Amino acid sequence: MVKVTGLEGVVAADTEIGLVDGEQGHLIYRGFWAKDLAVSRSFEEVAYLLWFRKLPGEEELRTFTQKWRSLRALPVSIRSVLELLPASVPMMSILQTALAAMSDDDLVWPPTTEQAMRLTAVVPTLIAARYRLLNGLPVVEPDENLDHAANYLHMLFGRTPDPAHVKALNAYLILGMEHGMNASTFAGRVVASTQSDLASSLSAAVGAMKGPLHGGAPSEVLVMLDAIGEKANAEPWLRGVLEKGGRLMGFGHRIYKTKDPRAEALRQVTEGLVSDDPWFELAIHVEAVAQRLLEEYKPGRRLYTNVEFFAAAIMRAIALPAELFTPTFTLARSVGWSAHLLEQAPVNRIFRPLSQYTGPMPEEG
């Protein structure tokens, strides 16, 4: 019988980018608490921290944001990709395809910060343009006067975004930016380890992010809460899933064996955004009931709310359509992926683990 480990407990690389301490519930980006950065810094400042190893000074930030913002427009060929692919192609597959198609002679290995800036700058534009095309709306061009979070909302909805929504989204994007050797970061690192270009590595990471066990969970949280509908239904509904051996979306984590610090921080941000919201009250109720039932059905597994549960709450509060939840997570994480690929390049060695053969051997003779 093959022991399926999912590489649990295996250290695949040294990194100075982020620390995920699952026992204590700590998340640190280059020596700073992620939860503090989320409420005190802009997405640009934290991206600078991840890529350049320090927070920017005033002048550094000005030059950096000016450059990054100037790279947001889509190349004509990429815009055509968005227009040509049928509506049935999911947004995450669109991102994968468009990022892979950004590969050109300037994007050869090893990755550089310029390449990272160029590729990550277009991710929000890709999402917003495709979203608007699908909905028969005119594409809104990026606005260089707006920061990353505000510009994303502006390109999606074609109006000046509510500052409270920008603040909440900024916090969410920062908390989603980096998370150690998660499945998508690992996927990107594996591809980059072959000396493939940054566009291909990011495209691979997007493919991993798409799955419901990773970045695909927040919209599933909405589905779950919609299906529960009201507080009285929570216990029977959740029990029904657990009785059948199913999983509750937005709960459990490979690393966190206590509350996911991102979930705590996002809950606070959402609380500051909504008041007397029946949906949010239901979410808080479902969290408590699920926690109790997970103790009952999965004793000792230490399953708590993960980032996705409150990511769903925050994105719903800022009126993002559910189909944009995972892509929005992706636009944040693309910065963290790039930081890992930049870090790996100088010490690169191809990832090549072993498999254990458990099949039959040829007959003797």
Residues in contact with ligand ACO by CB under 6 A are 6, 213-215, 217, 247-254, 298, 301, 303, 306-308
Looking at the DSSP bridge assignments, the partners of residue 18 are: 29
Marked catalytic residue, from 253, 287, 340, 343: 253
Residue 153 Cβ, how far from ligand ACO at the closest point, in Å? 22
55 vs 241, which CB is nearer to ligand ACO? 241
Nearer to ligand ACO, 82 or 205 (CB): 205
- The Cα-based distances of 27 to 18, 43, 188, 242, 256 in angstroms read 7, 17, 21, 29, 10
* Minimum CB–partner distance for residue 316 and ligand ACO (Å): 16
Say if residue 110 is preceded by a cis peptide, omega within 30 of 0. yes
User: Encoding tokens for residue 284?
Assistant: 């808080």
Pick 50 or 129: Cβ nearer ligand ACO? 50
Give 27 or 74: the residue with its C-beta nearer to ligand ACO: 27
Q: Shortest approach of ligand ACO to residue 252 CB, angstroms?
A: 2
Q: Measured from the CB of residue 287, what is the shortest distance to ligand ACO in angstroms? A: 12
Q: Which is nearer to ligand ACO, 142 or 176 (CB)?
A: 176
Considering the candidates 45, 220, 308, 343, report the single residue annotated as catalytic. 308
308 belongs to the catalytic site: yes
- Give the residue nearest to ligand ACO (CB): 252
Distance CA 327, CA 244 (A): 30
Closest CB to ligand ACO among residues 138, 236: 236
Q: Which of 329, 310, 304 is nearest to 266 (CA)?
A: 310
Structure tokens at 17: 């980018």
CB of 190 closer than 8 Å to CB of 12: no
Pair 69, 81: CB distance under 8 Å: no
Q: How far is the CB of 247 from ligand ACO (least distance, A)?
A: 4
**Least Å distance between CB 6 and ligand ACO?**
5
CB closer to ligand ACO, 125 vs 185: 185
Minimum distance of ligand ACO from residue 292's CB (angstroms): 13
As annotated, the active-site residues are 253, 308
